[in-house]
Structure 1
Amino acid sequence: MTPLAVCLVLCAVITAATWILSVVTREYSWVDRIWSIAPVAYVWVFAVASGYDARLVLMAVLVSAWGARLTFNFARKGGYRPGGEDYRWAVLRERMPRPAFAAFNLFFISIYQNALILLFCLPALTVFDSARPALGPWDLVVSIVFLAFLVGETVADEQQWRFHEWKAAERAAGRTPSPGFLQTGLFRVSRHPNFFFEQAQWWVFYAFAVVATGVWLHWSIAGAVLLTLLFMGSTVFTEWISRSRYPDYDAYRARTSAIVPWFPRRGAEVTATTDRTAASG
């Protein structure tokens, strides 16, 4: 079997397993639980099938580092424990009729997301099918940028973890945490810095296909594009929930970049507060 065929079979098995488990357990985060694991397997399939081509091994090692970090962060938040479902699925279930959510679970959560996971790994296929030139300076540059984004996401997740630990301690002490959402550190320059760094790593991963072929545009860029679109939708939904929970979230949105880290906008908070007051009046 070709490495692509192996990955397709593996993807089909994972898709079926995550859907069946979601139906049996009525928890809908099974794809989340394999999100950081499946890409490692897919890229290593190509690396092994290539006879351990240096570039593909490098790509597999970088994805393994990405996967180890994400798996650790997901595990410490309780994602692998029973009941460790993403809170957004519960919110969505309340807003959708049961048959509609069942279809959403099958076609979007299970099938589409598993297909997307494989798709954003397929720059490895472009490299596998290339002439496989020797590693060069641009491979080093791409690797350094990938690792820089990996460090950025690690910092963002650590800041978020410590904030939620503080919130839990405040509630345990009988106090109401204030502020209710993180606004400092990397979250001062981006409302979702972890989203930014996650997407950026897979765009950089695609850059290996460019380096290996000398061609800027390949069909395997589709994975990074669709991942970005997924995060755009996730951001809108996540922020809708945050705005419903925290009255001051609109002021934070007004002054802080949504995804790409950037300088906070001065004076925007006052405008947002005024607009919200006028709308409620």
Structure 2
Amino acid sequence: MDPLHAAFFACLGAASLCWLLGAATREYSWVDRVWSILPPAYVAWFAAQAPACDARLTVMTILAALWGARLTFNFARKGGYAPGGEDYRWVELRRRLPPPLFAVFALVFIAFIQNGLLLLLALPAYVAASPTAAPWGALDTLATLVFLMLLAGETIADQQQWRFHEAKRARGSAYGPKFLTQGLFRYSRHPNFFCEVSMWWTFYAFAVASGAGLVNVAIVGPVLLTLLFHGSTKFTEQLTRTKYPNYADYQRTTSRLVPWFPRR
């Protein structure tokens, strides 16, 4: 069986399991719980099926594993794997949508589309595993360095956010700022989102470096991820602005995703 076909069936199984667990528990963050686990597994699978040991695929596997380990740690410390650790956005959508409509949304988007995206993010490794792939080159080196820089940036942003929310929880209503505007968040309202999306565009560069062309099938993953984060960020900010009206001032002065100097 072609490695992609096997991965596709694994993806269908994961999506079905996430949907069944969501329906059984009435908690819909099961895809979130495998989000950091499945892409590295798919990448490792594609690399293992390559006809010979390959430097590009080895590096891609290591980078995907580093990404997954960091994200898993950050998700776990926020209680994402604990009972009741459901994403608050799913809770809000469940409140807004009629039950039949949310049931369709949970099946189609939360379970199947998002699991499909996790497979698509690993597709550059499948493309790079081609027997006719070009040898390691300058673009591979550049992609590796940029990926590591973005990984460091996301780690710093998440740590800054973690410290802020820990201080906020410790002091309760006595804590002054209600949302983070310092550190990397002074230059972007969502620097961690920016790094996350950019990392997968950088990962796509390995497919280009393998000789598949500037635009190839592996581009679907980062394109869809960009669209997903665009919609997710918009919804997240709507909720934040409802809770904190002065968030509008932060929106006016600070870039949404791409880090830039604050406006006055």
TM over 0.5: yes
Deviation at 1:52, TM superposition (A): 3.0
Superposed CA RMSD: 1.0
CA contact under 8 A between 1:130 and 1:212: conserved in structure 2? no
Q: Aligned residue for 2:45?
A: 45
What is the aligned counterpart of 2:215 among 214, 217, 220? 217
Counterpart in the other structure of 2:149: 148
Q: What does residue 203 of structure 1 align with?
A: 201
Could you tell me how far 1:126 is from its partner in structure 2?
1.4
Q: Which amino acid aligns with 2:38?
A: A
Counterpart of 1:78? 79
1:36 and 1:68 in contact (8 A); partners too: yes
What residue is the counterpart of 2:97 in the other structure? 96
Residue-by-residue CA offset, 1:192-221 (whole Å, 9 max, x unaligned): 111100000000000001111062110210
- Offset at residue 137 of structure 1 (A): 2.8
Determine the C-alpha separation between the residues in 2 that align with 1:25 and 1:113: 19
Distance in 2 between residues matched to 1:36 and 1:214, nearest whole Å: 26
User: What is the TM-score normalised by the length of structure 2?
Assistant: 0.97
> For 1:248 and 1:182, how far apart are their aligned partners in 2?
12
Q: Is 2:55 aligned against 1:54?
A: yes
8 Å contact kept, 1:191–1:253: yes
8 Å contact from structure 2 (residues 140, 206) kept in 1: yes
Write out per-residue CA displacement over residues 55-81 of structure 1, whole angstroms, 9 at most, x where no aligned residue. Answer: 111101100000000000000000000
TM-superposed CA distance for 1:134, in Å, is 2.3
Matched, 1:120 2:124: no
Give the ranges of 4+ consecutive aligned residues of structure 1 lying more than 4 Å apart after TM superposition: none
Q: Distance in 2 between matches of 1:160 and 1:36?
A: 19
8 Å CA contact retained: 1:242, 1:249: yes
Matched residue count? 263
Instruction: For residue 130 of structure 1, report the CA deviation from its aligned partner.
Output: 5.3
- The answer to whether the 8 A contact 1:130-1:213 is kept is no
Structure 2 spans left out of the alignment, 5+ residues:
none
Q: Distance in 1 between matches of 2:98 and 2:91?
A: 13
SS of equivalent to 1:129:
coil
Cα distance change of structure 1 residues 154 and 135 upon mapping to structure 2, 3 Å threshold: same
AA in 2 matched with 1:19: W
Using CA pairs under 8 Å that are at least 6 residues apart, name the structure with larger relative contact order, 1 or 2.
Answer: 2
Equivalent pair of 2:139/2:205 in contact (CA under 8 Å): no
Name the aligned partner's letter for residue 99 of structure 1.
P
What's the % identity of the aligned pairs?
55
Give the C-alpha shift of residue 139 in structure 1. Answer: 1.4
Task: Report if aligned partners of 2:46, 2:129 keep a CA contact under 8 Å in 1.
Answer: yes
Point out where structure 1 has 5 or more consecutive residues left out of the alignment.
267-281
Partner-residue secondary structure (3-state), 1:183: coil
